[in-house]
Amino acid sequence: MGKQRVVITGMGAVTPLGTGLDLYWDGLLRGRSGVRRITHLDAEKYSSQIAGEVPDFNPEQYMDKKELRRTAKFTQFGLAAAEMAVKDADLDLDALDRDRCGVILGCGVGGIDATQDTCKIFEEKGPGRISPFFVPMMISNMVSGQTAIRFGFKGVNYTVVTACASGTNGVGEAFHRIQRGDVDLILTGGTEASITGVGLGGFCSMKALSLRNDQPERASRPFDRDRDGFVIGEGAGVLVLESLEHARRRGARIYAEVLGYGATCDAYHMTAPDPEGNGAARAMEMAIREAGLDPCDINYINAHGTSTDLNDKTETMAIKRVFGDYAYRVAISSTKSMTGHLLGAAGGIEAIAAAKSVQEDRVAPTINYENQDPECDLDYVPNHSRELRVNYAISNTFGFGGHNAVILLGKPGDRG
Residues with a known catalytic role: 164, 304, 341
Instruction: Yes or no: say if 304 and 397 are a contact pair by the CB < 8 Å rule.
Output: yes
Burial category of 378 from C-beta neighbours within 10 Å (exposed 0-12, middle 13-18, buried 19 and up): buried
Alpha-carbon distance of 263 to 148, in angstroms, equals: 25
For 215-245, the DSSP string reads: -GGGT--TTBTT---B-BB-EEEEEEEEEHH
Alpha-carbon distance of 411 to 151, in angstroms, equals: 28
Alpha-carbon distance of 110 to 247, in angstroms, equals: 32
What single-letter amino acid sits at 96?
Answer: L
Alpha-carbon distance of 112 to 195, in angstroms, equals: 9
Alpha-carbon distance of 334 to 349, in angstroms, equals: 12
For 237-302, the DSSP string reads: EEEEEEEHHHHHHTT----EEEEEEEEEE--S-SSSPPTT-HHHHHHHHHHHHHTT--GGG--EEE
Instruction: Yes or no: say if 213 and 50 are a contact pair by the CB < 8 Å rule.
Output: yes
| C-alpha dihedral sign at 54, 213, 228, 329 | positive
Burial category of 132 from C-beta neighbours within 10 Å (exposed 0-12, middle 13-18, buried 19 and up): exposed
- Can you give the length of the chain in residues? 416
Instruction: Yes or no: say if 261 and 408 are a contact pair by the CB < 8 Å rule.
Output: yes
Half-sphere exposure of 378 (CA within 13 A, CB side): 31
Q: Which of 98, 94, 52, 100 lies closest to 77, judged by CA?
A: 52
Alpha-carbon distance of 406 to 361, in angstroms, equals: 20
Specify whether the backbone of 386 is left (phi greater than 0), alpha (psi in -120 to 50) or beta: beta
